[in-house]
């Protein structure tokens, strides 16, 4: 008998947490299915099992929060939109924040399903949430919103090694591919394969521990509570800046991030070291997310500004990757023996040149972005 001919039972939490996010777990006979609502999903055969298989329940942990998945009525569109007070600073930022919390849960599911960009998307969602809570704390509850910084940093660091290892591996092997093939290059390539295989396994294990930890679940639940509190607060409890029109409040908060980035760019020089450039990179990311969140209220061409910020972020990311690659190459030089030293020296010289080129291009790239943002200056 086909699945279509069998009675179908749906499973969800008592509060329909899966359904509210467009997900569905169902059972027909011995076949269990997770439907992601966009044509994707997965199936598990589990004859005789009356509870949702662990293979599926762990995938939706960011939605179920470990609540029991029990038989429920069939699916219907239970999506809910963001509430707020139209046109206010609070409503504009809250809508963006809610989308990023949803993106975090979607990325969690992608990581568990081993989709290629899952870790990257989860890391970006965590950064966007953290940056939004920091930049717009005056309209999101001040101290209440500021309590999430350390937990979100912990999450980003815990899953970040997997992405960083993937990026560095691709960078190194691309560089090796440009060198003439010889025994020394082959030896370095073999050493690199061993090193990065070990690093990738360690990073994947760390990522799994983080996503299955009680602390991560507590963070997700706390973000839910924060959104409910912010959504349910009446105008009288919000504070003056939160109630003001978005166009009156948000540009000033965004400009504070512009000023921070400008000061940090001015502190970068060939002698300042990687930390100064990394500080600029963090400010540029925060600025990009601030512009995304406040875009409807900013008197600038948001699409053009965001393009410039992405280009600037790519430039600073290239610098950071070149700096990190230098340490990886040194590690390979130590494990490749004398035959690989020449190859590693060539790779190291190329990465030093790449980092220098990025620093040289930074002032002009920032000035372009600064001019595009100047209309929001108080």
Domains along the chain?
Answer: 3-72 (no CATH), 81-239 (1.40.20.10), 269-378 (no CATH)
State the pTM of this model.
0.81
More confident residue, 37 or 351: 351
Listed ranges 205-209, 286-290, 347-351; the one with the highest mean pLDDT: 286-290
Name the nearest CA neighbour of 249 among 285, 294, 289, 309: 294
Q: Radius of gyration of the chain from Cα atoms?
A: 24
Percent of residues, the chain, with pLDDT higher than 90: 61
Spatial separation of the C-alpha atoms in residues 199 and 195, rounded to whole Å: 6
Across the range 1-30, mean pLDDT stands at 83
Beta strands in the chain (DSSP E): 8-12, 24-28, 31-35, 41-45, 70-72
Across the range 92-105, mean pLDDT stands at 94
Contact at 8 Å (CB) between 72 and 12? yes
At 89, list the tokens.
């600073």
Q: Is the pLDDT of residue 82 over 90?
A: no
pLDDT band at 79 (very low <50, low <70, confident <90, very high): very low
Q: Is the pLDDT of residue 76 over 70?
A: no
Query: Partners of 245 in the beta sheet?
Result: 88
Across the range 340-359, mean pLDDT stands at 90
Lowest mean pLDDT among 150-159, 276-285, 318-327, 337-346: 337-346
Buried-exposed string 298-314: b where 16+ CB fall within 10 A, e elsewhere: bebebeebbebbeebee
Across the range 171-184, mean pLDDT stands at 85
Backbone φ and ψ of 60, nearest 5°: -105, 20
SS3 12: strand
Name the nearest CA neighbour of 14 among 70, 65, 60, 61: 70
| Average pLDDT of every residue of the chain | 88
Across the range 223-238, mean pLDDT stands at 83
């Amino acid at each position: 008998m086909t699945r279509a001919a069998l009675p179908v039972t749906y499973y969800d939490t008592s509060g329909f947490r899966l359904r509210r996010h467009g997900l569905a777990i169902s059972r027909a006979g011995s076949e269990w299915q997770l439907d992601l609502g966009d044509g994707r999903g997965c199936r598990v055969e589990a004859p005789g099992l009356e509870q949702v298989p662990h293979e599926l329940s762990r995938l939706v942990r960011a939605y179920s929060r470990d609540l029991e998945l029990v038989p429920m009525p069939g699916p219907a569109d239970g999506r809910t939109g963001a509430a707020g007070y139209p046109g206010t600073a609070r409503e504009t930022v809250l809508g963006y924040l809610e989308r990023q919390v949803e993106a975090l849960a979607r990325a969690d599911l992608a990581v568990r399903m081993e989709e290629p960009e899952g870790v990257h998307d989860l890391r970006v969602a965590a950064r966007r949430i953290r940056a939004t809570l920091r930049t717009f704390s005056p309209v999101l509850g001040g101290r209440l919103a500021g309590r999430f910084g350390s937990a979100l940093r912990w999450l980003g660091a815990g899953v970040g090694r997997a992405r960083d290892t993937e990026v560095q591996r691709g960078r190194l092997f691309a560089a090796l591919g440009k060198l003439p093939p010889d025994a020394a290059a082959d030896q370095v390539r073999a050493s690199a394969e061993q090193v990065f295989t070990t690093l990738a396994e360690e990073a994947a294990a760390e990522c799994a521990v983080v996503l299955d930890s009680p602390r991560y679940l507590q963070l997700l639940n706390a973000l839910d509570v924060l959104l409910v509190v912010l959504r349910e607060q009446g105008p009288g409890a919000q504070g003056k800046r939160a109630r003001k029109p978005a166009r009156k409040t948000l540009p000033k908060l965004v400009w504070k991030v512009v000023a921070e980035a400008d000061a940090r760019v001015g502190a970068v020089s060939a002698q300042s070291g990687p930390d100064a450039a990394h500080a600029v990179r963090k400010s540029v990311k925060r600025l990009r997310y601030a512009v995304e969140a406040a875009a409807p209220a900013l008197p600038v061409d948001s699409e053009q500004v965001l393009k410039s910020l992405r280009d600037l972020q790519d430039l600073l990311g290239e610098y950071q990757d070149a700096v990190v690659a230098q340490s990886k190459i040194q590690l390979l030089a130590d494990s490749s023996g004398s035959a690989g030293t020449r190859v590693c020296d060539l790779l190291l010289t190329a990465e030093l040149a790449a980092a220098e080129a990025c620093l040289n291009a930074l002032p002009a790239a920032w000035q372009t972005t600064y001019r595009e943002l100047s209309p929001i200056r108080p």
